[in-house]
Structure 1
Amino acid sequence: MKIDVYAFSRNGVLLCDKIKHGLTLDEIDVFVPEKYSMIKEELNSIGNLHKSVRQSFETRDAVLFVCAAGIAVRAIAPFVKSKIKDPAVICTDEKGKNVISLLSGHMGGANRLSKKIAAITGGQAIITTATDINGKIAVDEWAHDKNMSILNMKTAKLFAAEILENKTAGLTSDFPVIGVVPEEIDPYNKQNYETGICISLDENKKPYTNTLNLVPRIVSVGVGCRKGTDFHTILKSIKEVLKENNISCLGIKSINSIDIKKHEDGIVKAAEFLNVPFYTYSKGQLNTLEGSYTESNFVKKITGVDSVCERSASMGSNCNKLIINKTIKNSVTVAACMDEYNVDFNY
């Protein structure tokens, strides 16, 4: 995670150093008042707190305040938007005794990060989310951990409310379910449940009155196009091909193509719009793939590869399983591969 830490006292600064050394796998920047910024070279002067916190909210995965909770609340108040967009926010006292998960406990990972920090400081993680304190599944945190997109957050809230009332929800999955399933979820659908989870690439699948659609991000899309094809045409083509195959755009994990398209503006912008990475591969890499692909002599003459979209989709996947063969839309070629995926409730 990329974490910004704010401390306002000498003891707080010392605690920051301890936390930073404990979270070795994370990228951490520490901000302190100017008078403490000389204690260590890597410390940053806060400057304007309002501007600094705004920058943290826009660019970081988590923000940790080492101070009174009231200071933290006032600092973040102007920038709080939604549980989908907000970073994790944690607040701890300068002794590290109480580590409070303040914002985005589930989807942002504040609950989990609070527990990590408490283990470092020897303090106690303060978790207040209802599902956690009642021992129920936090479906938004679980979905985030398992790399699934939530189609409708209102339904997620309804699901949480139902299980907190000790009701049981159904489960429908297009993927194998492994391991232990929480007791509040029935994977066998022994009753006609009004509320349930549907795990599928098809976001229009609604087996329950209140269906919580979860879409695994497991689809690698391969794209080929003529030079200069505009962003709208490429995006429209991707959407149309996926829709024809009952695959939600929420399931896309990456856009892929040959390296001569690395700076193809239309593809780059389409990937940015879909909020997924854009990967490119050399003709040598693409030609190493074994299997049957839709060949094009014209494409091979230009690029040295017989099928750019299919082979690049395969390169972006972990199992080389084409679920959409080369399809031409608006002079754009689109193909897709799907990763292997299992539903596991261990998180």
Structure 2
Amino acid sequence: MKLCILSITAEGRQLAERIAAELPNCDVLVAQKKIADTMRDVWYEYQGIICIMATGIVVRSIAPLLQDKTSDPCIVVVDQRGHFAISMLSGHLGGGNVLADKVATITGGQSVITTASDVIGATALDLWARRNGLIVTDRMRLTEKSAKLVDGAILTVFSELPLLGLPLDLKPCDNPEDADIVISCNKNMTSSGLCCIPENLYLGVGCNRGTSVTDIEQSFIELCDKHQLDTRAIAGIATIDVKNDETGILDFAKKRNVDPTFFTRDELNGVGDVSYSAAVMKAVGAKGVAEPASLLAAGANGHEAQLIIRKMKWKDVTLAVAKRIKNRWA
């Protein structure tokens, strides 16, 4: 997280230097005469802004800049003696609560956290989803379900993945139509609950040399349509290392905002229960690319992996999908 500290007094500047010395990637800035001008200058450049000044000044300065809690930087307000560090904005998704705790530890003061879930000890659904690689599809429903937790309710969760180690205020449910929270890669899932997409699918890609990103993208869309997969569930793509300069694959990965992983033919050949291709063996020395690559990517770091879509072939593209099995929830 890129941070900056704004101060308006000499004593505040001294405190700013002290805090910055303990926080990585943190700039110390002297606010202009008009605080609102300085705030506007730093708003889009930093993910966290620590303000050593009165809360009223900060409120008036940030009011015209506020957009959405998923994009606004977190704001922590500190008095110039460092007695209190107040998480004012983007406490959960923006990391404001954590930053306030860090600042209070540095100054020897007290962090002030007002988000209801933290105060009463309820699960913060937005943070829980982020920790577990879930994409929240409906912010209004997130707010609605979060309010129920704050009121002391226990929410039901339907999931395509095993539900071990859920928080105490979440419990498993067998029917998605009755669940408060639905975790599924199925883009056609119908539920009145909060739908969350797990980023746990890994796409194995094989292609002829010079295949365009358009052809790969179109094949991918057709695969997802046929198997009713939400495209956002793809956490990574994988292929053989001789394709590490294949423009179509690299551009596809960039478009999907995922990092490509490349495996050697020996690694691919070490994967069992995958389709054999004489043509691929002749071309690159591997018994297959799409299926074993997807399994290796999904199974990285000791995870359990399952091939859920065996290879589908187009004129120049071959795709397969493996699922990473999540055994416990953070």
Q: TM-score, normalised by structure 1?
A: 0.78
Q: 3-state SS of the aligned residue for 2:77?
A: strand
For residue 222 of structure 1, the aligned residue among 174, 185, 204 is 204
**Does the CA contact (< 8 Å) of 2:123 and 2:167 recur in 1?**
no
Alpha-carbon distance in structure 2 between the residues aligned to 1:263 and 1:70: 54
Deviation of 1:267 after TM superposition, in Å, equals 2.4
Aligned to 2:275: 294
1:323 aligns with 2:308: yes
C-alpha spacing 1:95/1:325, structure 2 compared with 1 (3 Å): farther
C-alpha spacing 1:198/1:112, structure 2 compared with 1 (3 Å): same
1:304 aligns with 2:289: no
Q: Identity across aligned pairs (percent)? A: 29
Deviation of 1:341 after TM superposition, in Å, equals 0.4
Aligned to 1:236: 218
What residue identity is the alignment partner of 1:182? L
C-alpha spacing 1:234/1:82, structure 2 compared with 1 (3 Å): farther
Greater shift, 84-93 or 140-149, is seen at: 84-93
C-alpha spacing 1:16/1:48, structure 2 compared with 1 (3 Å): closer
What residue identity is the alignment partner of 1:311? P
Aligned to 2:34: none
What whole-Å deviation, never above 9, does each CA across 1:289-311 have from its counterpart, x for those lacking one?
Answer: 33122222222333332322222
For residue 249 of structure 2, the aligned residue among 262, 267, 280 is 267
Alpha-carbon distance in structure 2 between the residues aligned to 1:309 and 1:283: 12
What whole-Å deviation, never above 9, does each CA across 1:307-340 have from its counterpart, x for those lacking one?
Answer: 2222222232223432222112453211122222
Alpha-carbon distance in structure 1 between the residues aligned to 2:39 and 2:123: 36
Aligned to 1:211: 193
Aligned to 2:180: 196
Alpha-carbon distance in structure 2 between the residues aligned to 1:192 and 1:150: 16
What whole-Å deviation, never above 9, does each CA across 1:256-294 have from its counterpart, x for those lacking one?
Answer: 22233333333223222322222223434434x331222
Q: 3-state SS of the aligned residue for 1:55?
A: coil
Alpha-carbon distance in structure 2 between the residues aligned to 1:116 and 1:48: 24
Aligned to 2:137: 151
1:96-115 maps to which residues of 2 (within 5 A)? 96-115=82-101
Alpha-carbon distance in structure 2 between the residues aligned to 1:68 and 1:119: 20
* Paired residues, number: 321
Aligned to 2:71: 85
C-alpha spacing 1:75/1:255, structure 2 compared with 1 (3 Å): farther
Structure 2: gaps (5+ residues): 32-36
Greater shift, 136-145 or 313-322, is seen at: 313-322
For residue 121 of structure 2, the aligned residue among 131, 135, 148 is 135
Q: 3-state SS of the aligned residue for 1:83?
A: coil
Let me know the Cα RMSD of the aligned residues: 3.2
Alpha-carbon distance in structure 2 between the residues aligned to 1:87 and 1:305: 47
C-alpha spacing 1:264/1:158, structure 2 compared with 1 (3 Å): same
What residue identity is the alignment partner of 1:271? A
Deviation of 1:136 after TM superposition, in Å, equals 2.3
1:8-87 maps to which residues of 2 (within 5 A)? 8=7, 9-23=9-23, 27-33=24-30, 50-56=40-46, 60=47, 62-70=48-56, 72-73=58-59, 80-87=66-73
**Does the CA contact (< 8 Å) of 1:109 and 1:141 recur in 2?**
no
Greater shift, 150-159 or 230-239, is seen at: 230-239
Deviation of 1:17 after TM superposition, in Å, equals 4.6
Structure 1: gaps (5+ residues): 35-46
**Does the CA contact (< 8 Å) of 2:158 and 2:172 recur in 1?**
yes
Aligned to 2:260: 278
What residue identity is the alignment partner of 2:103? I
Alpha-carbon distance in structure 2 between the residues aligned to 1:269 and 1:79: 34
**Does the CA contact (< 8 Å) of 2:159 and 2:182 recur in 1?**
yes
Q: TM-score, normalised by structure 2?
A: 0.82
What whole-Å deviation, never above 9, does each CA across 1:95-140 have from its counterpart, x for those lacking one?
Answer: 3322222322222222233223322322222222233334322111
